Amino acid sequence: MNQSENNFESLRRLLALKRHEIPPPGYFDDFPSQVLSRIRAGEADVPGAIADRLFAEAPWLLNFFRVFEAKPAFVGAFACTLCLLLLFGIVYAGRPEATPKTALLAAMTQSAVPLADATAPVLTPSPGQTGLMISTNPVLSLEPVALPFGQQNPLAQPVSVSFPIPSN
Amino acid sequence: MAEPAARRDLESRAPADEEALVRRVRRGDLEAYDELVRRYQERIYATIYHMTSNHEDANDLAQESFIKAFQALKTFKGGSSFYTWLYRIAVNKTINFLKQRKNRIHMSLNDLDFNAEHDPDLVAFVSDKTPRREAGLAELQEKLNAAMLKLSEPHRLVVVLHDVQGLSHDEIAKIMDCNIGTVRSRLFYARQQLQGYLSDYLKPT
């Protein structure tokens, strides 16, 4: 390294010129007061302060983002990985899980029908009843509610409520 | 600007009262922070200025660095000296700024001090013996800054910290969060690059 130091001696002497570059006279007299006045003015909450603090706390995160800035290919590779993960998720979610879902649906159907029979009043008007009968039809069909990616929600159950209105 | 020799072994020469000042600042004592700013303002400003070659940018970034350090002081664990930690903040801020600015470079150079004209080393560069003897110090300053700006940020930073600021390889490694070997290789490469850019102005050794 000493040999290389000697090789660059001329350059180092030229670089000494940089040390003679000085800011305007009195600049450093005012500098601390400017910093403190900005602190007092509450610049702590400027946008980006949180990100700056995060980067100061976790320099590896900054280096991670710098890789993207320096090499756009990394951005493409990262985006492709994310897309593949998303596709995998969609495909995996669409796969039929026959046994557990069928059993659950069967259990749900058996329990739902008697419940509906017990709670839903008979809508046939009695001979003494006049007036309107208002019945809200089931909003949902008896089919389980479909979710995105072909899934079905076994927990969603159809609701049917009827209110008999007595005649005057 | 202080002499490089005076900047060596900053960690060991850190005043004993620095920790006390930091503790006072953590309790919200702005007078103590005023003292810390006065203590390090020239070095922080100079580093940023030599990285950007722009006084206005260096002024903004230096102020923001001190403000950010004040805000983040509660998270300062004392693993390194306050000075090294402050330097790291300033360097990261400057590199982020330069990356955002990319090629929109605008130099706004400070004037040379009176001593530059009497520095024998520098006078030799503008004497009759140089290949470009018509070059004055101001032109040399502009060419030197332009050449510096051609370097990548990490290479420029190593040159600034070592050859201009006079920091040791060890201190630079701590500031840049890399090992000493990386610092040395970057310094070698950066000097090679600069030598190529400034070959017309360098005297043959």
Q: Where are the domains of chain B?
A: 16-109, 111-205
- Please report, for residues A55, A84, B138, the alpha-carbon distance to residue B96 in angstroms, rounded to integers and kept in the order given: 11, 31, 29
CB contact under 8 A, B37 and A32: yes
Question: Do A16 and A83 fall within a single domain?
Answer: yes
Residues ≥6 apart with Cβ < 8 Å to A167: A128, A129, A130, A131
Question: Do A102 and A87 fall within a single domain?
Answer: no
- Say what the pLDDT of residue A120 is: 47
Question: Do A36 and A116 fall within a single domain?
Answer: no
Query: Cβ of A95 under 8 Å from any chain B Cβ?
Result: no
| Model confidence at B56: pLDDT above 90 | yes
Question: Do A66 and A123 fall within a single domain?
Answer: no
ipTM field: 0.81
Q: Is B69 helix (H, G, I), strand (E, B) or coil?
A: helix
* Pairwise pLDDT comparison (B200 vs B153), residue with the higher score: B153
Count how many domains chain A has. 2
Say what the pTM is: 0.62
Q: Which architecture, in CATH terms, is B16-109?
A: Orthogonal Bundle (1.10)
Element housing B58 (H / E): helix B55-72
Question: Do A72 and A35 fall within a single domain?
Answer: yes
CB contact under 8 A, A56 and B67: no
| Model confidence at B65: pLDDT above 90 | yes
Q: Is A43 helix (H, G, I), strand (E, B) or coil?
A: helix
CB contact under 8 A, A13 and B72: no
Question: Do A7 and A86 fall within a single domain?
Answer: yes
pLDDT class for B2, splitting at 50, 70, 90? very low
Looking at the domain assignment, is residue A82 inside a domain? yes
pLDDT class for B163, splitting at 50, 70, 90? very high
The low-confidence residues of chain A, meaning pLDDT below 70, are 1-6, 43-53, 56-57, 70, 96-168
| Chain B interface mutation, best of A3, A15, A40, A50, highest count of B Cβ atoms under 10 Å | A15
CB contact under 8 A, A49 and B163: no
Using CB atoms, pick whichever of B93, B110, B195 lies closest to residue A23: B110
Looking at the domain assignment, is residue A168 inside a domain? no
CB contact under 8 A, A32 and B124: no
According to CATH, the topology of domain B111-205 is Arc Repressor Mutant, subunit A (1.10.10)
Q: Which residue range is the domain that position A150 belongs to?
A: 98-163
Question: Do A59 and A137 fall within a single domain?
Answer: no
- Amino acid identity, position A24: P
Question: Do A48 and A119 fall within a single domain?
Answer: no
- Say what the pLDDT of residue A106 is: 63
Burial class (CB in 10 A: 0-12, 13-18, 19+), B161: buried
